[in-house]
Amino acid sequence: MFKSQSPSQLPYFDLAPVPMLLINEQGEIVHINGEGFKLLRSVVSEDIATFDGCVSRRQWAEVKCFFDVSSTNQHESIYRNVVVLNGQTGIHLLSVTLASTHPNKLFIASFSPYTEQNDQEICIDQMPMSMAIVNEEGRFEQVNSAFCHLVGYQEEALRNVKEDELSFNSDANSERPLRQCLAQNNRSQYSVEKRYIHKNGHHIWVRTYVTRLAPPGKPQRYIVAVVNIHEEKQLQEVISTSERRFRAIAENVSSVVWISAPDPMRLLYVNKCYDTVWEEPVEKLYSDPRAFLNRIHPNDRDLAAEMRFSPQTDSWSINYRLVFPDHRVKHVRDSGHCVYDGNGDLIYRVGTLTDITYEIDQRDNMMVMAKKLRDLVDFDTLTGIKSRHAIMTDVEDAYHQYGQTGDPSVLVYFDANGFKAINDTYGHEVGDRVLISIADHLSSNIRDTDVAGRIGGDEFVVLLRHAAEKEVPQILERLSGEITSPGLPEDVKISLSLGAVELTSEIDSAEQWLSNADGSMYENKRKFKRASHPLMRSV
């Protein structure tokens, strides 16, 4: 707060013969000279020290606007206007200059009594902003070069032209009541946004500040200060159009789209798809942005909350489940990221919430189908043991491992004795049960490290992995034992012929190994037949 009676550090300022004030950027009077205190003692005290307490808030706003627009040569710019001081009836000429800009702006304001000669002091052509003076009828009396440049006319062409003729009809009609109110001294000034029509026919968006001049004994006139806001309006239109397009897109996508301020608890926008996915009104989110968490599965809720509300999260993509009162479950993909401005400051958080239940169901179905396909390839559909393709893969693996480690393995080839006679006598149903019984017998009489497979028809193989020489005879004895099955006719007996070949370095391939085992089995089968000991009796 200033003190008018304190020793001054500005002797020349204090000795000035005209009322003068020092005003900071906030509009506070930081110093006043003696003449200024005499003039303003009715409105300035120890408790009231603001410039708009001397004139009006609009007047102070106009001063600030003038120097904001005068971005170049500010120290050479002088703001002048005719004002009526608060609590007084006399008219004064206000002059404001910029005394300092560092570290903050500091203004010098002076007041002088208004006389007819002061009209010449209001030289609008020296103003860097577009300005004009119009009479009571709204005709231009004076325009500066900046105004002429704005509308594209020479000064002579604008003489006695009405300002309304340069304005859109709708804008002129909207402004007319404000001008009438100003003429009736119901207000000191007003501002309005409107469109001027350029000489070339295009329109220009402007913001005008209109102040009434009413010197005693003379017709009142109006000072019109004009700020070109065309680019600002164009930018607003671009933003508005972009927003409309965004909403049109966002409201028609099948995902929930949301935007928040840097503080994720300040939700700015959520589209209506939230109603469909969460099955609750989107309005709940605007009152409580954490409300969406209530629908999330308890096991997934903490992760979802951390991703959305943690200030350290820059981008994320997670899946979680929604649980509904009727125990239905939906799967949702929650993706989002932060948006930064050119200075690297966070301005928005944006994200989408997509119902991926169908996708998850399809994935699960594909996994089930893939497993079934693998089973069809890897396992024999009749017997349940490994298929020819799968068992041969194991045989090849064992062959290659032997080449690297010398790990011993034995391949045993089996054939069902008299199987064709059983099929011909009892039919394929009994024949299938015989094959199933053989597969069960082989699987139950091998070690966990061994594997059994069906080569085709009534032929089977067993791969004895890591088989020590002393273990093989015991395993073969179990495998060649009698096979019983309670589901077969009583007089059907099942026996097997087998041939076993140990893998050695003399065997050149897995196919040769299988062929050698097959040959060994048939040699044993022929020997058995020559000895007249049939392993299967026909009925």
How does DSSP classify residue 482? -
180 contacts 172 by C-beta, under 8 angstroms: no
Catalytic residue among 300, 450, 458, 518: 458
Q: Are residues 203 and 290 in the same domain?
A: no
Final residue of a domain: which of 98, 121, 144? 121
Q: Are residues 47 and 101 in the same domain?
A: yes
Q: Are residues 176 and 309 in the same domain?
A: no
How high is the pLDDT of residue 93? 83
Taking CA atoms, 347 is separated from 95, 235, 261, 264, 340, in Å, by 41, 18, 6, 11, 5
**What CA–CA distance (Å, rounded) separates 139 from 141?**
6
pLDDT band at 2 (very low <50, low <70, confident <90, very high): very low
**pLDDT (average), residues 69-79:** 64
Q: Are residues 115 and 140 in the same domain?
A: no
Helix 388-405 to helix 357-378 angle (10° resolution) is 80
pLDDT band at 386 (very low <50, low <70, confident <90, very high): very high
Beta-strand runs (E) in 229-371: 256-260, 267-270, 315-323, 329-340, 346-355
479 contacts 442 by C-beta, under 8 angstroms: yes
Tell me the two tokens of residue 268. Answer: 């700015």
SS3 call for 50: strand
> Is residue 4 a part of any domain in this protein?
no
How high is the pLDDT of residue 343? 85
Tell me the two tokens of residue 182. Answer: 């100003």
**pLDDT (average), residues 67-83:** 70
Which stretches within 141-272 are classed as H helix?
Answer: 145-151, 155-158, 169-183, 230-250
428 contacts 458 by C-beta, under 8 angstroms: no
Count of H-run helices and E-run strands, the chain: 17, 19
How high is the pLDDT of residue 525? 86
Which stretches within 381-500 are classed as H helix?
Answer: 388-405, 419-426, 428-444, 472-479
Domain enclosing residue 167, as ranges:
126-232
Final residue of a domain: which of 182, 202, 232? 232
List, for residues 88-110, the tens digit of each pLDDT value. 777 788 888 888 777 788 889 99
**pLDDT (average), residues 243-251:** 75
Q: Starting at the earlier edge strand, list the strands of the sheet with 189-197.
A: 140-143, 130-134, 221-228, 203-213, 189-197
**pLDDT (average), residues 151-166:** 90
The answer on pLDDT for 6 being more than 60 is no
**pLDDT (average), residues 424-448:** 92
Q: Are residues 388 and 426 in the same domain?
A: yes
Amino acid at 323: V
The answer on pLDDT for 304 being more than 90 is yes
Q: Are residues 79 and 181 in the same domain?
A: no
Lowest-confidence pick of 233-237, 317-321, 348-352, 364-368: 233-237
Per the structure, the count of domains in the chain is 4
The answer on pLDDT for 51 being more than 90 is no
- Which has the higher per-residue pLDDT, 270 or 214? 270
Give the closest residue to 140 by CA, choosing from 227, 228, 221, 81. 221
> Is residue 457 a part of any domain in this protein?
yes
Tell me the two tokens of residue 57. Answer: 């808030």
The answer on pLDDT for 326 being more than 80 is yes
Q: Are residues 390 and 524 in the same domain?
A: yes
The answer on pLDDT for 436 being more than 50 is yes
Torsion of CA 305, 308, 310, 314, to 10 degrees: 150
- Which has the higher per-residue pLDDT, 317 or 51? 317
Amino acid at 402: Y
Lowest-confidence pick of 31-45, 377-391, 504-518: 31-45
> Is residue 246 a part of any domain in this protein?
no
How high is the pLDDT of residue 126? 61
Give the closest residue to 94 by CA, choosing from 117, 71, 114, 74. 114
> Is residue 243 a part of any domain in this protein?
no
> Is residue 539 a part of any domain in this protein?
no
- Which has the higher per-residue pLDDT, 49 or 304? 304
How does DSSP classify residue 74? G
Q: Rg (Cα) of the chain, in Å, rounded?
A: 49
Buried b / exposed e over 484-521, threshold 16 CB at 10 Å, is: eeeebeeebbbbbbbbbbbbeeebeebeebbebbbebb
* CATH value at residue 400: 3.30.70.270
Tell me the two tokens of residue 417. Answer: 């004795």
pLDDT band at 75 (very low <50, low <70, confident <90, very high): low
Tell me the two tokens of residue 406. Answer: 């010398």
pTM of the full predicted structure? 0.42
**Taking the CB of residue 372, how many other CB atoms lie within 10 A of it?**
10
Give the closest residue to 426 by CA, choosing from 539, 295, 266, 332. 539
Distance of CA 117 to the CA centre of its chain: 64
List, for residues 163-217, the tens digit of each pLDDT value. 999 999 999 999 999 988 888 877 778 889 999 999 999 999 999 999 888 777 7
**What CA–CA distance (Å, rounded) separates 526 from 538?**
19
The answer on pLDDT for 351 being more than 60 is yes
How high is the pLDDT of residue 8? 44
- Which has the higher per-residue pLDDT, 516 or 103? 516
Give the closest residue to 363 by CA, choosing from 297, 304, 319. 319
The answer to whether residue 52 is catalytic is no
Final residue of a domain: which of 104, 121, 138? 121
Q: Are residues 187 and 210 in the same domain?
A: yes
Partners of 142 in beta bridges: 133
Amino acid at 148: C
pLDDT band at 372 (very low <50, low <70, confident <90, very high): confident
Distance of CA 84 to the CA centre of its chain: 55
Q: Are residues 293 and 384 in the same domain?
A: no
Angle at 397 between CA 392 and CA 402, to 5 degrees: 125
The answer on pLDDT for 532 being more than 70 is no
> Is residue 245 a part of any domain in this protein?
no
Q: Are residues 130 and 197 in the same domain?
A: yes
Query: Across all residues in the chain, what is the average pLDDT?
Result: 85
* CATH value at residue 284: 3.30.450.20
Q: What percent of the chain has pLDDT over 70?
A: 90
Partners of 327 in beta bridges: none
417 contacts 497 by C-beta, under 8 angstroms: yes
Q: Are residues 523 and 396 in the same domain?
A: yes
Tell me the two tokens of residue 60. Answer: 């102070």
65 contacts 223 by C-beta, under 8 angstroms: no
> Is residue 244 a part of any domain in this protein?
no
> Is residue 238 a part of any domain in this protein?
no
How does DSSP classify residue 296? B
Q: Are residues 155 and 186 in the same domain?
A: yes
How high is the pLDDT of residue 349? 92
**pLDDT (average), residues 490-513:** 91
